[in-house]
Amino acid sequence: MADHITLRMKVNGEDRSVEVHPFARLLDVLREDLRLTGTKEGCGEGECGACTVLVDGRVVNSCLVPAAQVQGSEIVTVEGLAKGDELSPLQAAFVAHNGAQCGFCTPGMLVAATDLLNRCPNPTEDAVREGLAGNLCRCTGYSKILDAVHTAASGGEGK
Amino acid sequence: MIGASSHRKEGRAKVTGAALYTDDKFMPGALHGVTIRSQVPRGILKAIRFGEGIPWDEFTIVTAADIPGKNLVASVVHDQPFLVGIGEEITHMEQPVVLLAHADRHLAEKARRAVSLEVEELPAILDIQSSLELQQVIYGPNNLLKEIRIQKGDPATVWATAAHVIEGEYRTGAQEQMYLETNAMVAQVEEKEGQTWVTVWGSLQCPYYVHNALKQLFDLPGDRVRVVAMEMGGAFGGKEDYPSVNGGHAALLAWKSGLPVKLIYDREEDLACTTKRHPSRTLLKTAFDADGQLLAIEVDFAIDGGAYATMSPVVLSRGALHAAGVYCAPHVKVHARAVATNTPPPGAFRGFGAPQSLFAIERHMDICARKLGLDPVELRRKNFLRMGGTMATGQVIREDLDLGGIMDRALAEIGYHDKRAAYAITNQEDDPIKRGVGFSVFMHGCGFTGSGESYLASVAGVEGLADGTVSILAASTEMGQGKNTVFSQIVAEALKVPFDLVDVAQVDTDHVPNSGPTVASRSTMMVGRILEDAAIGFKQALVQQGFLKEPYTAEEFRAGVQRAVETLGSVKCYGQYHKPANITWNDATYQGDAYPTYSWACYAADVAVDLDIFEVKVEDFVTVQEVGRVVNPRLAAGQIEGGVAQGIGWGLWEEVTTKQGRMINNQMTNYIIPTSADLPRIRVTFLENAHPAGPGGAKGIGELPMDGPGPALVNALEAALGPLRLDEVPMTPERLLARWEEVSHG
């Protein structure tokens, strides 16, 4: 087995190429090789969702994804949500509603909620609760996160 | 400014991924640290063996023999070694023995597994009862980490004559803080000019606790130790005392290797070895007259303190001081003991002893109401503390306290009386879903217990910057609670300038004074008040020196600060805690004003139990609290909602399962915290009653929401299912089924 493989992928719209260990986790490649440290590790077993990123438009726990599997893929992390200095509507709503307290679940939560709103632009509160149930938050009790998602879904209107 | 829902100062950094947490800190050439821990609960360490197949010469290895200063963690009591040495006693399953570091994280992990310990095992004590019975003496002469007695009157005088005497026994389990970011430290030790300089960056609540611990560990003066708080991914008390341990470990590896070291726990290690909420056992005995008036309360409160004292003496104190709840009785006696066991030491967790003793008294009041044939609402109302009333320590309530009003508001919001009546009928139907509504009334003391604030003598300040803005100098840390924002609001209000002109300085012991630990619901009320004074002093100095003329606009203020900085170089003003004159406390007798004030609340829960699977669903949860003036309503509501979510977890789901004292469900997969699909909208009402001790009239709120949910939920379960032996949290489905079977099939 080779010591390293060359991994080519598009990350937040940019072509990247890195030499990585054949069994490296996508999470480590993002955090250590690309130094995109916005994506967090909370449990390392796919339970908490803090490491959530999009791979070819699908939500994944990057701690469970071998980097070799994303060869040629398109990855979106929390760093890819804003357009330059302009926050995405969901990011802006998280700031306005205090959707982030300690902020450690926030990157994964934002990526998961972005995907949820892409698939279902006007979700019910129950749909948001179900949709984000794989992203644990220990600070908020989720109310302010639900408020933020609701506001973003209704185009900035909301509570 | 105070009273506005200003946006979180660091909010933008948190939503863009730019906020830097400890493991995000890039340190070129850093080694990765790992910890070898004992695998027996008690014994004598005989030898350390380094196994085959590992290039040990590439490793930095630290044992107790290497420690340059004192091998004891500076804490309330200095009893815990950083590492156990050969010939010394191992006292719990997760005790650190050897530290390793290597540049290759995977090799470091492989090496960790290759180290084995030779230990002569000794019999262990693993629970409160065995420790009290002195089955083995494992700590001091009597296994007691701390003992407290509080007495008002003498309950012994009324037992024989009272119309009713009711006794009960209650238990609460350990609980894991489950901050999303595990404990994490980065350290660097440099030798410059023949001297040692230690720096630790970490996820920590109390920079000066870690600073003290490092001074003692390395035998260094304070100016050669630097502690920097990185962005913190939650803490809830779990990063109050433990960072003195892992901060020391990281620094030892950095010192021995001469290289930066990252010591980042994975989730399994964090859950197994770091602190939890203390398990508790409470015996309660109460006497009532024929009308339901409380005559006496006697409490025997015991908590499992684990192998070392850590925060147990102070956790016990808060638990003891909340043990009689919100009730006024002529005779009260509290006997509280923190006992040693051979388990990884528990520590601070939001609520800090109060949730345990309040669970007991608030469950007990419902049980007493049933036994007396009274409505739990009216039994409580008869016995509430009021202005002029006296608590167990002799503390006289000096504020306009209306617990009946707080309770009625919560009960009205949840529809208590209508639901009780409706469920009494529907629960008779042949439907597996049974419903109940229950509540709790409670308080939480604000700030440090007793004379703690006087001993701390906290200092905080404000500094004018060259760009004319103001920077807040305090060691209080941001763990998500909103300290950056609330402090900025308080200072902006005192200076009468816009919020945007004020921000906080990075918490770095080289730059900020010791404003005390970030604990005990004290930051807003205690440090906020010091900052208010400092800001007013800052403004007055600018005016007196002619840099500023009142009244001023924001631009004039900014220009004035710029001029002052240009002229004087550095413009800072500090404030310090001053004990209010009307507060007295005696540590020896436990008499006096235990806290400067309390926050007061009533929480109500509406639950549905599915008797087919004993799953409990929380349908509605109402919180009504009087917390003085609310500085930032949206952030404050977030504190209540999040605290209640943790309280619901503790009440229903979060069970720490142990084997030989060690947590064995140490994964997120099998330690269950609430998800977004598990909770209702938590409803939050603040009743504001400005208190003079806090800035702008604010009191503390951080811990309050942890106290109420446990008893409110279990009281609701009893309302749904009838009088089962519901004396414990967490009331998991398994436990609830067992209690149901005691009655139905037992």
pLDDT per position as a tens digit, B180-204: 999 999 999 999 999 999 999 999 9
In degrees, to the nearest 5, what angle opens at C-alpha B558 toward C-alphas B552 and B563? Answer: 105
The two structure tokens encoding residue B573: 């003003």
Q: How many domains does chain B have?
A: 3
Query: Is residue B68 scored above 80 in pLDDT?
Result: yes
B267 three-class SS = helix
Answer whether B414 touches A (CB < 8 Å): no
Decide: A100 and A130 in contact? Cβ < 8 Å: no
- Helix, strand, coil percent values for chain B (each to nearest 5): 30, 25, 40
Answer whether A49 touches B (CB < 8 Å): no
Average pLDDT on B117-127 reads: 98
What is the Cα gyration radius of chain A?
A: 16
Split at pLDDT 50, 70, 90, the class of A1 is low
Last residue of a domain, one of B244, B273, B302: B273
Split at pLDDT 50, 70, 90, the class of B707 is very high
Q: What is the CATH number of the domain that holds B542?
A: 3.30.365.10
Q: Testing the interface with B: which of A105, A139, A144 to mutate, by most B Cβ within 10 A?
A: A139
Distance (Å) from the alpha carbon of A68 to chain B's nearest alpha carbon: 18
Q: Residue B637's pLDDT is what? A: 98
Distance CA B503, CA B485 (A): 8
To which H or E segment does residue B312 belong? helix B312-321
Option in B15, B20, B480 nearest A139 (CB):
B480
Decide: B708 and B442 in contact? Cβ < 8 Å: yes
Last residue of a domain, one of B225, B252, B273: B273
Exposed, middle or buried: residue B612 (CB in 10 Å: 0-12, 13-18, 19+)?
exposed
CA atoms within 13 A on the CB side of B730: 23
Q: B323 and B417: one domain?
A: yes
In degrees, to the nearest 5, what angle opens at C-alpha B35 toward C-alphas B345 and B275? Answer: 20
pTM for the whole thing? 0.98
B686 in a domain, yes or no?
yes
Residues A65-108 pLDDT 10s: 999 999 999 999 999 999 999 999 999 999 999 999 999 999 99
For chain A, positions 52-81, list CB contacts with chain B under 8 A.
77-79, 81
Q: Which residues pair with B592 in a beta bridge?
A: B585
Q: DSSP character for B719?
A: H
To which H or E segment does residue B101 belong? strand B96-102
Measured N-to-C along each axis, helices B243-257 and B207-218 cross at an angle, to the nearest 10 degrees, of 50
Place of tokens 């900020």: B512
What percent of chain B is modeled with pLDDT above 70? Answer: 100
Phi first, then psi, for residue B46 (nearest 5°) are -100, -40
Q: Residue B746's pLDDT is what? A: 46
Q: Residue B273's pLDDT is what? A: 98
Q: B609 and B559: one domain?
A: no
Q: Please provide the DSSP assignment of B39-56 as one string.
A: SSSSEEEEEEEE-SSS-G
Q: B105 and B241: one domain?
A: yes
Distance (Å) from the alpha carbon of B645 to chain A's nearest alpha carbon: 5
B171 in a domain, yes or no?
no
Q: Residue B354's pLDDT is what? A: 98
B301 three-class SS = strand
Q: B255 and B354: one domain?
A: no
B725 in a domain, yes or no?
yes
Query: Is residue B95 scored above 70 in pLDDT?
Result: yes
The residue type found at B239 is: K
B155 in a domain, yes or no?
no
In degrees, to the nearest 5, what angle opens at C-alpha A100 toward C-alphas A97 and A103? Answer: 165
Distance CA B664, CA B93 (A): 11
How many other C-beta atoms lie within 10 A of the C-beta of residue B221?
Answer: 9
Q: Residue B695's pLDDT is what? A: 85
| Longest pairwise C-alpha distance within chain B | 84
Distance CA B440, CA B707 (A): 9
How many other C-beta atoms lie within 10 A of the C-beta of residue B13?
Answer: 16
Distance CA B492, CA B502 (A): 6
The two structure tokens encoding residue B376: 């739990």
B585 in a domain, yes or no?
no
Option in B5, B232, B675 nearest A136 (CB):
B675
Distance CA B157, CA B159 (A): 6
The two structure tokens encoding residue B329: 């009785």
CA distances from B34 to B67, B100, B110, B210, B390 (A): 17, 5, 10, 19, 52
Distance (Å) from the alpha carbon of A73 to chain B's nearest alpha carbon: 21
Decide: B26 and A36 in contact? Cβ < 8 Å: no
Option in B16, B180, B676 nearest A79 (CB):
B16
Answer whether B468 touches A (CB < 8 Å): no
The two structure tokens encoding residue B309: 């004292």
CA distances from B262 to B33, B62, B348 (A): 6, 15, 24
B6 in a domain, yes or no?
no
Please report which residue ranges of B626-708 form alpha helices under DSSP H. Answer: 633-652, 704-707
Q: Which residues of B touch A42 (CB under 8 A)?
A: 180-182, 233, 267, 668
Q: Which residues of A touch B480 (CB under 8 A)?
A: 100-103, 139
Of B322, B415, B443, B327, which Cα lies nearest the Cα of B606?
B415
Q: Which residues pair with B187 in a beta bridge?
A: B200, B261
Of A157, A43, A17, A32, which Cα lies nearest the Cα of A108?
A43
Average pLDDT on B425-443 reads: 97
Q: B415 and B464: one domain?
A: no
Q: B261 and B334: one domain?
A: no
Distance CA B30, CA B27 (A): 6
Of B707, B215, B134, which Cα lies nearest the Cα of B442?
B707
User: Does B11 sit within 8 Å of A94, measured CB to CB?
Assistant: yes
Distance CA B167, CA B163 (A): 14
Q: Residue B439's pLDDT is what? A: 98
B418 three-class SS = helix
Residues B544-581 pLDDT 10s: 999 999 999 999 999 999 999 999 999 999 999 998 88
Decide: B671 and B665 in contact? Cβ < 8 Å: yes
Decide: B318 and B249 in contact? Cβ < 8 Å: no
The residue type found at B35 is: T
Split at pLDDT 50, 70, 90, the class of B63 is very high
Phi first, then psi, for residue B384 (nearest 5°) are -65, 150
To which H or E segment does residue A27 belong? helix A26-28
Q: B724 and B617: one domain?
A: yes
Q: B465 and B491: one domain?
A: yes
Q: B286 and B380: one domain?
A: yes
Q: How far, in whole angstroms, is CA A13 from its chain's centroid?
A: 15
In degrees, to the nearest 5, what angle opens at C-alpha B348 toward C-alphas B142 and B362? Answer: 85
Q: Strand order in B115-121's β-sheet?
A: B89-90, B43-50, B115-121
Residues A22-31 pLDDT 10s: 889 999 999 9
Phi first, then psi, for residue B569 (nearest 5°) are 85, -60
- B477: containing domain: 458-576
Q: Which residues of A touch B631 (CB under 8 A)?
A: none
Q: Strand order in A5-11's β-sheet?
A: A14-20, A5-11, A74-76, A52-55, A58-61
Average pLDDT on B438-466 reads: 94
Residues B683-696 pLDDT 10s: 999 998 877 778 88
Q: Residue B443's pLDDT is what? A: 98
B8 in a domain, yes or no?
no
The two structure tokens encoding residue B694: 């806090």
Q: Residue A159's pLDDT is what? A: 47
How many other C-beta atoms lie within 10 A of the C-beta of residue B413?
Answer: 16
Chain A CA closest to residue B271 = A43
Task: Convert B485-551 into a string of H (helix), E (strand) and C (coil).
Answer: HHHHHHHHHHHCCCHHHEEECCCECCCCCCCCCCCCCCHHHHHHHHHHHHHHHHHHHHHHCCCCCCC
B17 in a domain, yes or no?
no
User: Does A91 sit within 8 Å of B682, measured CB to CB?
Assistant: no
Going from the N-terminus, what domains does chain A have, and what CATH number goes with each?
5-80 (3.10.20.30), 89-154 (1.10.150.120)
Decide: A150 and A159 in contact? Cβ < 8 Å: yes
Cis amide leading into B730 (omega within 30): yes
Q: Which residues pair with B610 in a beta bridge?
A: B433, B615
Last residue of a domain, one of B530, B547, B576: B576
Q: Which residues of A touch B178 (CB under 8 A)?
A: 138
Q: Which residues of B touch A107 (CB under 8 A)?
A: 17
Strands A5-11 and B658-659 turn out to be: unpaired
Q: Which is more confidently placed, B451 or A72? A: A72
Split at pLDDT 50, 70, 90, the class of B271 is very high
Cis amide leading into B313 (omega within 30): no
Average pLDDT on B291-304 reads: 98
Q: B493 and B438: one domain?
A: no
Split at pLDDT 50, 70, 90, the class of A156 is low
Torsion of CA A79, A124, A42, B24, to 10 degrees: 20
Q: B296 and B395: one domain?
A: yes
Exposed, middle or buried: residue A45 (CB in 10 Å: 0-12, 13-18, 19+)?
middle
CA distances from A67 to A11, A107, B444, B744 (A): 13, 20, 49, 55
Is the C-alpha dihedral spanning B174, B443, B635, B686 positive or negative? positive
Share the mean pLDDT of chain B.
97
Q: Testing the interface with A: which of B14, B270, B701 to mutate, by most A Cβ within 10 A?
A: B14
Distance CA A15, CA A62 (A): 19
Answer whether B634 touches A (CB < 8 Å): yes
Place of tokens 């941001």: B478
Place of tokens 């006096």: B592
Q: B498 and B532: one domain?
A: yes
Q: Residue B581's pLDDT is what? A: 84
CA distances from B157 to B292, B330, B377, B696 (A): 18, 11, 28, 45
Residues B714-745 pLDDT 10s: 999 999 999 999 999 999 999 999 999 998 75
Q: How many residue pairs bridge chain A and chain B with CB atoms within 8 Å of each other? A: 171
How many other C-beta atoms lie within 10 A of the C-beta of residue B216?
Answer: 19
